[in-house]
Structures are given as C-alpha cells and as structure tokens.
Structure 1
Amino acid sequence: MDFAAEKKELETNNKVSNNNNNNGNTDHTQQVLDSLSSFTSDGNNNTDREAEERKARDLKAGLHPLKQKFVIWYTRRTPGVRNQTSYEDNIKKIVDFSTIEGFWVCYCHLARPSSLPSPTDLHLFKDGIRPLWEDSANCNGGKWIIRFKKVVSGRFWEDLVLALVGDQLDYGDNICGAVLSIRFNEDILSVWNRNASDHQAVMALRDSIKRHLKLPHSYVMEYKPHDASLRDNSSYRNTWLRG
C-alpha cells in the first residue's frame, strides 16, 4: 500500500477540518496521522468470512482496512427529567467504520468532549458488542476507570481512541471497547475487557493504557468488574429510571 499517498490525502483533509474546527495544533495532527498509518491489518489471523469479504472490498476500492470494525454509540440524559425508557433503549448508534478513511471522516465530524452537555456517554466498541454489562462479550469482564479534569479529558480520550482503533493496546483481543463519560465536575474514561478473572490480561491492559496515554504517576486507575457495577445502586445506569 502507498502509505505516503494515503497520508498526504489525509493530511489535506485534516487541514480542511482544522480550519472548520479552529484547531491549530499541527504537531498533534501529525501524531494522529502517524498513528493512522499503522492501523492496517492484512487479516491473516481473521477467519471470519464476513470480515474477510469486507476487507477484500475495501482493498479493491483502494481503502485501508482496520483490523476491527468499530461502532460509536451515544447516551444522553436530561438532568431532572424522569426517564420513561430503559438505559438500553437510550443507547443510540451514531456511526460505524472499518477503514482508516472511514475512521478519519467520522472522527473529524464528531463533537469534541468539551462541547458535550452533562451527563453524556460516548461509547466506542468493536462491531457486534453492545456497550452493556449484560452483553455476552462483556458479562464476565470489567473495566479500567480513570477520572480526569474536564480541561484535559478530550486529549486523553483522543489518544485512547487512536490506541484502541489502531490495535495498539496489549491483549487487544480481550478488549471490548471504551467509554467517555461526561459529568458535571469531571470526565471519566473506561476501557472494557472480556475477562475480569484473567489477572495477567487485566494488569497488562492497565500498564498498556498508562503507557499509551503517558499518564502522570498522580493518576489513579481503578478496576471494576461488571458484576460489581450491576450491584452498585449509585451507578449512572442504575439510577437511570430514577432521574
């Protein structure tokens, strides 16, 4: 694949997007582009017929397939209003993508975390996995939780998205997705994995997140199995119908 040509095209598209978003951070843009260049996968280890056919179509079209197809979801609750529907029914699919080009188009048009109201959740999950504790891929797993001041959460979320979509985190097959929870006083990033009882995978994921996000030592990470979240009456989802 001609990554130089692809990178040049992405760089041109990004300049247009940056003009629209008044984002002049060219150094970070270059980091994003460099990360995108490593997102491709030859699919040799993927035996799923549908995924292979999709990748073949993308390659034929001159696109650059990602290892996984991803879906972005959105959840929003109006403070003080009692919800009449379940949390699951309020999770809305925004978009899906399976190529570098598709990712870039989606990401450039997403609202930035700083502009989102509280409380809001953004979910980035592998295709076929819903951002619910009860999903078959999640039910035996858990999540690493990191709390950020609102002024810096957007940058850490972007770095996490790039690491996840680019399959840069250790034990990537054990990862289900990630969530950005916009709250009133802080924002919360969480990375979900499949198996809470696999201590080695859980701790390796923690170290990988720290490394890719370049987290200062002062940041505390907490791991919470999903079955504990189900029992937590104070959790955001469990208070959904109470408003």
Structure 2
Amino acid sequence: MEISEKKEPENNNNISQTATLDSSSTTDIIDKESEERQARELKAGLHPLKNKFIFWYTRRTPGVRTQTSYEDNIKKIVEFSTVEGFWVCYCHLARPSLLPSPTDLHLFKEGIRPLWEDSANCNGGKWIIRFKKVVSGRFWEDLVLALVGDQLDYSDDICGAVLSIRYNEDILSVWNRNASDRQGVMALRDSIKRHLKLPHSYVMDYKPHDASLRDNSSYRNTWLRG
C-alpha cells in the first residue's frame, strides 16, 4: 500500500511532464513549418507574411430556418501567406457594398476558426465598431491591410477580424485571445483607432466571447466602451 501511494505522485508528474513536452513539441513543429514555408517563399522571390491567413464567409437567408449549425455555414474562401498571394486573393473578392445582407466576411490567422468556441478565441473577446454602409468598405480594407501587414499593437494576441454586413449598417469587429488582459485590450483599441484614423464621433465597444455565448448575441450588452 505504501509503495502504491509513493508511485502515484510520480505517475502524475510523469503525465504532467509528458503533456508539457507534447505542447512544447507541437509549438516547435508549427514554428519550424512556418520557418520552412517562409524560406521557400523567399527562395521563390516572394514576400512572406508573418502569419498565414484564411478568408471565410457566412451567408444566411433571411426568414429561412435551417437545420445546419453556424459552424457548418462558415465557408472557406481562400488562404494566403505572401504579399503577392494576398493581392491575388483580395483583388478577386467582391466588395462589401456588393454583398447581400446578412453576410459575414472573416479574416483569421491559419489554425483559428471564426467561432467563439475555438480554443484560440474562447478566452478572448472583440472590439466592435458600427459604420454607415457607404463607408464600411474603406474601413474594412484599411483594417485588413493593417492585420495582414502585422501593423497593429499586440498583434500576437489578435485572432482575426469580421465584417458583418447588415441592412441598416455594417459592423466591424477585431477578435483577440485574452479578454482578461485589460492593458492589452485597451492598447489594441488605441491601435485600431490610430490605424483606421477613426473620427472622434465613432464609438468602440468591447465584448468577451463568453458573454456572447451566454446571451447568444454578438453585439448586445457590450462590456467596455472607448
């Protein structure tokens, strides 16, 4: 009995060490793959981005109930990892003003799905900005360029961005990983304002994803305003 009791903590430690090693190994593999990809792109004369990105979209038919989940409705459009690849993709995408309501455009880093429940998003939240439809396309493009070009502060904490096209207005949101890091959240807000050159009349709201899950809404009951 005494031998058994002595072995249990050793086993637990082994399990913990194994989990830590597995996590570290996965990160090392991802970093190595990213480095190898960038090396290949440089050799080909391309200009690699810091991150690989994926464009997604969601289209729902108003007034029609569907049995498919929100996740099933998210469709992958295209992925890119170089400056040249981005422009090839972006130049062929329909402009927001030409898309029907309601439609969502998503731009997220590779490996992160545009879902609240994704492991990269579940502890995070998003900054929300509402725009008149006549100007939303310009602000969306400015945000996309800042995101792809890794120009925003706390960029490693950013997961992606969404443009929600609605009937009376369009809603732009920037998703981050850690909603509890107030300093990072506020620094991201200031960086977005600066890069988009937002007029003082525009208000930004922040909402953690767990609050969205509780009230089943993306944009009601925001927690921070700035």
With the shorter chain as reference, the TM-score category is 0.7 to 0.9
Q: Higher relative CO (CA 8 A, sep ≥ 6), structure 1 or 2?
A: 1
Unmatched segments (≥5 aa) in structure 2: 1-28, 220-226
Fraction of identical pairs, as percent: 90
TM-score by length of 2: 0.83
Unpaired runs of 5+ residues, structure 1, are 1-45, 237-243
- For residue 95 of structure 1, give the secondary structure of its aligned residue in structure 2: strand
**1:42-81 CA distances to partner (integer Å, 9 max, x unpaired)?**
xxxx970111111111111110000000000010000011
Q: Distance in 2 between the 1:117 and 1:47 partners?
A: 37
- Partner of residue 96, structure 2: 113
Q: Letter of the aligned partner of 1:126 in structure 2?
A: K
Aligned-residue offset at 1:231: 1.2
Structure 2 equivalent of residue 183 of structure 1: 166
The DSSP-based 3-state class of the residue aligned with 2:198 is coil
Does residue 211 (structure 1) correspond to residue 194 (structure 2)? The answer is: yes
Alpha-carbon separation, structure 2, partners of 1:132 and 1:233 = 13
Distance in 2 (CA, whole Å) between partners of 1:179 and 1:235 is 11
Query: For 1:75, which of 58, 62, 66 is the aligned residue?
Result: 58
Separation (CA, whole Å) in 1 of partners of 2:30 and 2:120? 18
AA in 1 matched with 2:117? E
In 1, the alpha carbon distance for the partners of 2:218 and 2:32 equals 39
SS, match of residue 80 in structure 2: strand
Query: What SS class does the counterpart of residue 65 from structure 2 fall into?
Result: coil
Which residue in 1 is equivalent to 2:45? 62
Correspondence 1:198 to 2:148: no
AA partner of residue 110 (structure 2): D
Alignment-derived partner of residue 81 in structure 2: 98
1:141 corresponds in structure 2 to 124
Distance in 2 (alpha carbons) for counterparts of 1:235 and 1:225: 9
Q: When the two structures are superposed, what TM-score results if normalisation uses the length of structure 1?
A: 0.77
| 1:170 partner letter | D
- Residue 235 of structure 1 and its aligned partner are, at CA, apart by 4.4
Number of residue-to-residue matches in the alignment: 191
Encode CA deviations 1:68-114: one digit per residue, 9 max, x unaligned.
Answer: 00000010000011112000011000000000000000000000000
Deviations 1:126-184 (A, max 9, x none): 00000000100000000000000000000000000000000000000000000000000
- Once residues 175 and 48 of structure 1 are traced to their aligned partners in structure 2, the CA distance between those partners, rounded to angstroms, is 17
Counterpart Cα distance in 1 of 2:202 and 2:101: 22
- The whole-number CA distance in structure 1 between the counterparts of 2:218 and 2:118 is 18
* C-alpha spacing 1:161/1:235, structure 2 compared with 1 (3 Å): closer
